[in-house]
Amino acid sequence: MEDRSTTGSWRNKLGFWKWAIASVLFRLILTYFSKNLNLSSRPEVSTPLTSLRRLAEGYWLKQLSMSPYSGSMYHGSPLLLSILGPLTVKKIGGLSSELLCSLVSVVADFISAILIRATGTSLVRAHLRNWKSLGLDKLSKGNEVVPSGDIAALVYLWNPFTIVSCIGFNTSAIENMFVVMSLYGASAGLVPLAAFGWVVSSHLSLYPIVLVIPVVFLLGYGLDAPPRKLFALSNLQGGEKRSTDHAELNSLNDKFSKTNFSWWRVIIFFLWASVWTSYVLIMCVISMKEYGGLGEMFKRTYGFILAIEDLSPNIGVLWYFFAEVFDFFRNFFLIVFHVNILFMILPLAIRLNHRPCFLAFVYLAVSSMLKSYPSVGDSALYLSLLVLFVNELAEMQFTFFLFCGYVGISLLSPVMHNLWIWRGTGNANFYFATAIGYACFQIILVVESVSAMLNHDRKIRKLCNKV
């Protein structure tokens, strides 16, 4: 039996690497034809913050001893400008600048997939360990635990949203890599890596700053587990039995650890976050010392995000709303839309504090709905994180409806954009209708996934009562 299980695990690993390598080769083939696909001009793929064409113009301005933020083109990090800027103008080994930048995205996607796989493996182990600690391992023997890490990683690599973002000449893949790096570092207990990923991802796109809450929960409580009240109840029951068996005592210690919060690791995280933040700011000061310093950078990056100055069409809903709203009410609605994200943070954190990785998925999904300049790269990330919980969300409703909705919006959005911009037979309402539909499907996905997770926790509670 052990030989068969070992053989099966090796086959699963080989199968994963075959599909992973195939996805990389598929990206390289599409990268070669990226000019013909012309995805970099698609509003669903590139945004004013992630477009490498804008980055190339910012780097060109800097080469002319001008501020990279002159005009209204570049609004990204000056660090990205220093790292990726040279790739936009140089040829290495006969490869064009676009091919070089696409290769960077391919590498970033592959690293993200590996980190997602490692996080999923840790979640599966924690899932089995928690069921054993609660005495539910005998009840779960008939239910096979799906290797969610492998599936989530392959979903990320083969998701059409991820692929078009990778070959669409933008920086979404790099931003996603640092977000996943932060979650992986926190789930693996690598505090410096978690702090580094969180600081860099927040620096690049601002919205990942809300992930500090699930990262703190991961470092303090550990990986996702059933509600801690069940472990406390199991502790009492185990104490009443007064068992002296060494294995049972270790099990009791594991249960007690689930109900304690490790403040020391959280303090170390914030110390490392301070170190990385200082390092990033120092590098930005050096890069921007001749072009206005940090004040100019904050105004042109985070100020641009919060003020929603560019109203070019995208798959979000804010561009159309602020194109129609009166200027007198603009500041009021800016506050309303941005605070709307903050209003959801505390209630979700209170209700899902025992499932920090799932909480991170919810935060990313909500941010992608309400952020100023969303792209399909944002959806590619949170959809892959959702698959990490395929075991817990097995009874989730409307999955086929949501799948068809995402496919339908993906097909309709380019058609409506073409009718509006190029054919002239439609108007902005055509394209905005697909954006509204896309937002609605994201709302349904978040609501149904949270409901399914809470129902799963209730099911565990009932099983514990029976035991």
- For residue 417, the enclosing domain spans 2-466
Q: What is the CA radius of gyration of the chain?
A: 24
Tell me the C-alpha to C-alpha distance, in Å, between residue 217 and each of 360, 390, 429.
10, 21, 42
SS3 129: helix
Q: How many CB atoms lie within 10 A of CB 64?
A: 10
**CA separation for the pair 315, 433 (Å, rounded):** 10
SS3 312: coil
Q: Name the residue among 388, 420, 461, 361 with its Cα closest to residue 116.
A: 388
Q: Label residues 30-57 b or e (16+ Cβ within 10 Å = b).
A: bbeebeeeebbebbbbbbbbbbbbbbbb
With tokens 């690993």, the residue in question is: 13
Q: Residue 243 has what pLDDT?
A: 44
Q: Residue 233 has what pLDDT?
A: 59
CB under 8 Å to 200, separation ≥6 — which residues? 178, 276, 280
Q: Residue 443 has what pLDDT?
A: 93
Domain count, the chain: 1
Tell me the C-alpha to C-alpha distance, in Å, between residue 36 and each of 153, 272, 302.
28, 45, 33
Q: Residue 170 has what pLDDT?
A: 86
* Joined tokens for residue 327: 């200027």
Cα of 436 vs its chain's centroid, Å:
21
With tokens 């185990």, the residue in question is: 238
Cβ contact 429:411 at 8 Å: no
**CA separation for the pair 214, 211 (Å, rounded):** 6
**CA separation for the pair 68, 55 (Å, rounded):** 9
**CA separation for the pair 464, 335 (Å, rounded):** 45
Average pLDDT of adjacent 10-residue blocks, the chain of 467 residues? 46 75 89 75 87 87 85 85 81 65 87 93 84 65 70 92 88 93 92 94 92 92 77 53 45 52 89 94 88 85 89 88 86 87 89 91 92 91 92 86 91 88 81 91 93 87 72
Q: Residue 7 has what pLDDT?
A: 45
The Cβ-side half-sphere exposure at 200, using a 13 Å CA radius, reads 19
pTM for the predicted model, two decimal places: 0.89
Question: How close are the terminal C-alpha atoms of the chain, in Å?
Answer: 29
Show the CA angle centred on residue 364, arms to residues 81 and 359, nearest 5°. 135
Q: Residue 46 has what pLDDT?
A: 87
Cβ contact 325:175 at 8 Å: no
Strand partners, 51: 170
Give 86-95's long-range contacts (Cβ < 8 A, gap of 24+): 86/59, 88/52, 88/55, 88/56, 88/59, 89/56, 89/59, 89/60, 89/63
**CA separation for the pair 240, 205 (Å, rounded):** 52
Cα of 242 vs its chain's centroid, Å:
45
SS3 391: coil
For residue 70, give the DSSP letter. Answer: S
For residue 390, give the DSSP letter. Answer: T
Show the CA angle centred on residue 254, arms to residues 252 and 255, nearest 5°. 65
CB under 8 Å to 342, separation ≥6 — which residues? none
The secondary structure of 212-242 as a DSSP string is HHHHHHHHHH-S--S-HHHHHHHHHHHHHHT
